[in-house]
Chain A
Amino acid sequence: MSASTESGDGTDGATASDERIGRRLLTERVSSLWLTGAGYFAIALFVLIVLTLVYQSLPLLSEYSVVQMLTSSNWSPQQNEFGFLPAIVGTIYVTILSMLMGAPIAILAAIYIAEFAEGRTKTIVSSFIDVLAAIPSVIFGLVALIVVVPLVGDYIAPAVGSGATGLGIFTVSLVMAIVVTPFIISLSVESLEALPDELRETSLGVGATQWETIRIVLLRAAGPGIFSAILLGFGRVFGATIVPAMLIGGQTQIPDSLFATGQTLPTLIVNDFGELMSVPIRQSALIFVGLALVIVVWLFNFGAMLLRKRLQQRWQYQ
């Protein structure tokens, strides 16, 4: 495809170039306007979502006290009783447990890929991790129903003396750990690989072993990056919906053991929205759960950002 070019033959070159500059300036102004608009659009969208959630939660908030709802464990929408504590506790359990299971493995795997693996092995391992990260989480849920649920119910739970059906907090945490690990690995590998080779060379040069180099120098230098990778995983577990909904067993009670069934904030919404949207106060209750979720995640991100800044200042290597 050849573009038709305007010929500047010099007869009225001055006006032609003026026109061209004018046009360029106009393009410049329009595109910067457009970019600014796109930037603010994101903010507007966030504000709009939060406002909608707040507005829709008002019917509930005007009738019930927030403190009472957040601390009551009585969830019984048919009787118009809304206690969110079981879902909050469930969410916290699942998030912490999955990170305890997933993060150490993820960091070790990242170190292996970035520092030890070479050549084809490295290509193969890291490409499989990318593939894992690309699998939709509903697939993990399906496979877990067939494999992990009987495994937990028949072997793991009885082994620690707990009679369970296989559905519950532990199963969800295990599967969510598997779901988020590839993300944490990829991001951690990236931040390790971004470190300059001088760091390694210097450390090895003064007589440190490879493991000492990794532990004392590289992990510190890549610390903020790895830390934010873990936080990203944290956020994903916190807001995970479909895997917990399929595997948690849907009981709105405070779980009394790791293998107990439970509920998280997202599963509370997804399990109940099909039935609770038709009566205004119940709809309002579900929207309020959504609002709580958004606020918590936002606070969390904000805190993580501050923390990461401080870490970056403390662990500088330059």
Chain B
Amino acid sequence: MTQNYSRRSVVQLAGAGSALALAGCTSSNGGSSSAVRISGGVGPLPMVEVWADIYSDETDTTFDISGGGTGVGVSDLFNEQVDIAMMGRDPYDEEVEQGLFAVPMLIDTVVGTINENNPVFDEIQENGLTREDLEAVFTKEITNWGDLVDADVDEEITVYGRSDSSAAYEQWGDFLGGEDDAWAESELENLADANHNGDQAVAEAIGREPNAISLNNINYVYALDSGELESPVRPIPLDQDGDGLSDEEDFYDTRDEFLAAVEEGRYPAPPAREMFLAANGGFEDEAYDFVEWVLSDGQEYVRDNGYVPLEEDRLEEAQNNLAGEA
């Protein structure tokens, strides 16, 4: 009986000890100097992580970063769970009405993709596809590769989209619709033959299926470290004026060439798109300093990580907005 009692006290002691140890952990991790909390879109997540790493080395600021999607980031902001939300798309009016304040941070690019064994691969590489072509394919007006380009081929086109809501897919819909018109993501989803969950799954499916077409973030098209085309996934050159692919429009061999074209505006936006950092009302304290750094020194790291830095005047505008808000 008494043995029982003392065994219990041992357990109690151990429990108290571990509780103390846990308490010690939390206080040393972030009790006194609180971390900047960031959540949101998975598109900009890799870049923000790189920025946070560099910035925390320079300033001792600590970060707590998670993904979840743009909508999650914004709703975390409104619930005061985070200080900064990463956004892969423009803020909605409803969000701005609730007090969302967003500044652009970089440009990310989406490109149409096909398999390197596509039945009309050579024709597409040679002449590119126009926006109208792509719209017809993604909305199922044209369903055969032979009808799309002038070739003696009879193969059905398989259209893949994204089943998770993705800002890239939304931008793609804006692009396909042309000026002042856009296909909503749910419309595109329902027109596609099938949708995959995530960029990686789309890239893999394109790599397996010669007749498939889809869209990908360029970091899933070019190899991350070398910036070369290594997987069977190939970008679709975009013929912007409808007269075949001119030298001006031929920049798809490496990521560097491609990013340079985006930077110079030779690749249209959308599908290139700005990504935003947002706050509830306005950025404060360490979060403000971080965003200010991102919009100045931080921009130089963007190109190496497969994104495009903001243009000079857009950057200035963003800096002014940020300063004006404070």
Of the residues A3, A6, A248, A274, contact of B70 by C-beta under 8 Å: A274
What is the chain A residue whose CB lies nearest that of B169? A275
- A residues less than 8 Å from B204 (CB atoms): 145
Interface stretch among B159-167, B242-250, B267-275, B285-293? Answer: B159-167
B197 touches A274 (CB 8 A): no
Whether B186 contacts A165 by the Cβ 8 Å rule is: no
Of B1, B10, B42, B162, the most chain A CB neighbours within 10 A belong to B1
- B225 close to chain A: CB less than 8 A: no
Interface residues of A toward B: which range?
A: 35 or more
* A199 CB → nearest B CB, Å: 43
B78: chain A residues at CB < 8 Å are 278
Bound state CA distance, A245 and B197, in angstroms?
7
Q: Does A76 contact B (CB under 8 A)?
A: yes
> Is there contact, CB below 8 Å, between A277 and B164?
no
Q: Which residues of A contact B42 (CB under 8 A)?
A: 274
If the complex has contacts A145-B201, A271-B163, A274-B164, are A3 and B6 also in contact, measured as CB distance less than 8 A?
yes
CA of A282 to CA of B187 in the docked complex: distance in angstroms? 17
The verdict on A20 contacting chain B, using a C-beta distance below 8 Å, is: yes
A65 at the interface (CB under 8 A from B): no
Residues of chain B within 8 A (CB-CB) of A252 are 186, 189-190
Tell whether A167 pairs with B165 under 8 Å between CB atoms, given A275-B70, A279-B92.
no
Are B194 and A168 in contact, CB atoms less than 8 angstroms apart? yes
Alpha-carbon gap, A77 to B165, bound state (A): 11
Residue with the greatest number of chain A CB neighbours at <10 A, chosen from B3, B71, B209: B71
Tell whether A277 pairs with B1 under 8 Å between CB atoms, given A79-B184, A246-B201. Answer: no
Minimal Cβ-Cβ distance residue in B for A245: B197
Q: Do residues B163 and A278 form an inter-chain contact, with CB atoms below 8 A?
A: no
What is the chain A residue whose CB lies nearest that of B212? A165
> B257: CB under 8 A from chain A?
no
Which residues does chain B contribute within 8 Å of A270, judged by CB atoms?
A: 164
Pair B92/A278 contact, Cβ less than 8 Å: yes
**Quick one: CB contact mask for B150-188 with A, threshold 8 Å, 1 for yes?**
000000101011111111000000000000000011110
Q: Which residues of B are found within 8 Å of A5, using beta-carbon distances?
A: 2-3
A186 within 8 A of B: no
Complex Cα gap A274–B40 (Å): 8
B140 within 8 A of A: no
- Closest-CB distance, B169 to chain A (whole angstroms): 10
Q: Does B75 interact with chain A (Cβ within 8 Å)?
A: yes
Q: Is the CB of A167 within 8 A of B71?
A: no
Residue on B nearest A253 in the bound complex, by CB: B190
Q: Interface size on B (CB < 8 Å)?
A: 47
Residues of chain A lying within 8 A (CB to CB) of residue B197: 245-246, 250, 271
Q: Whose C-beta in chain A lies nearest to the C-beta of B6?
A: A3
Indicate if B241 sits at the interface (CB-CB under 8 A).
Answer: no
Is B311 an interface residue, CB under 8 A from the partner? no
Q: Which residues of A contact B126 (CB under 8 A)?
A: none
B317 CB-CB contact with A under 8 Å: no
Question: Does B195 sit within 8 A of A, measured CB to CB?
Answer: yes
Residue of B7, B95, B194 near A279 (CB, 8 A) is B95
Task: Name B5's closest neighbour in chain A (CB-CB).
Answer: A23
Report yes or no: B164 in contact with A250, Cβ–Cβ below 8 A. yes
A contact residues around B314 at 8 Å (CB): none
Query: Inside 8 A of A251's CB, which chain B residues have their CB?
Result: 163, 189-190, 192, 194-195
**What chain B residues lie within 8 Å of A181 (beta carbons)?**
none
- A141 → B minimal CB distance (Å): 9
Assess whether B189 is in contact with A250, with CB atoms less than 8 Å apart.
yes
Output the residue of A23, A164, A245, A274 with the most chain B CB within 10 A. Answer: A274
Q: Chain A contacts of B3 at CB under 8 A?
A: 3, 5
From known contacts A165-B158, A273-B69, infer whether A261 and B194 are also in contact, taking CB-CB under 8 Å.
yes
Residues of A within 8 A of B71 (CB): 273-279, 282
Q: Mark A235-256, 1 if CB is under 8 A from B, else 0.
A: 0000000000110111111000
Tell yes or no: A59 within 8 A of B by CB: no
Bound-state Cα–Cα, A283 to B94, Å: 13
Q: Any chain B CB within 8 A of the CB of A37?
A: no
A277–B7 alpha-carbon span in the complex (Å)? 50
Measured between beta carbons, the chain B residues less than 8 angstroms from A275 are: 69-71, 165-167
For chain A residues 32-52, which have a beta carbon within 8 Å of chain B?
A: none
A6–B94 alpha-carbon span in the complex (Å): 71
Residues from chain A with a CB closer than 8 A to the CB of B72 are 273-274, 277-278
Residue pair A165, B194 in contact (C-beta under 8 Å): yes
Closest B residue to A286 by beta carbon equals: B71
CB pair A6–B163 under 8 Å, yes or no, is no
- Checking B2, B5, B184, B193 against A78 with a beta-carbon cut-off of 8 angstroms, the contacting residue is B184
Let me know if B185 and A274 touch, CB within 8 A: no
Chain B residue nearest to A77 in the complex (CB) = B186
B residues with a Cβ closer than 8 A to A are: 1-3, 5-7, 10, 41-42, 68-75, 78, 92, 94-95, 156, 158, 160-167, 184-187, 189-190, 192-197, 201, 204, 208-209
Given contacts A5-B3, A245-B163, 6 further A-B contacts (CB under 8 A): A250-B194, A251-B194, A274-B41, A275-B69, A275-B71, A279-B92
- Show 14 A/B contacts (Cβ-Cβ < 8 Å), sorted by A: A3-B6, A23-B5, A165-B193, A165-B209, A245-B163, A248-B163, A249-B163, A252-B186, A252-B189, A253-B190, A273-B72, A274-B69, A277-B72, A278-B75
A interface residue numbers (CB < 8 A to B): 1, 3-6, 20, 23-24, 75-79, 145, 150, 163-168, 245-246, 248-253, 261, 267, 270-280, 282-283
Lowest 8 CB-CB distances: which A-B pairs, in order? A274-B69, A250-B163, A275-B165, A278-B74, A250-B195, A277-B75, A249-B194, A165-B194
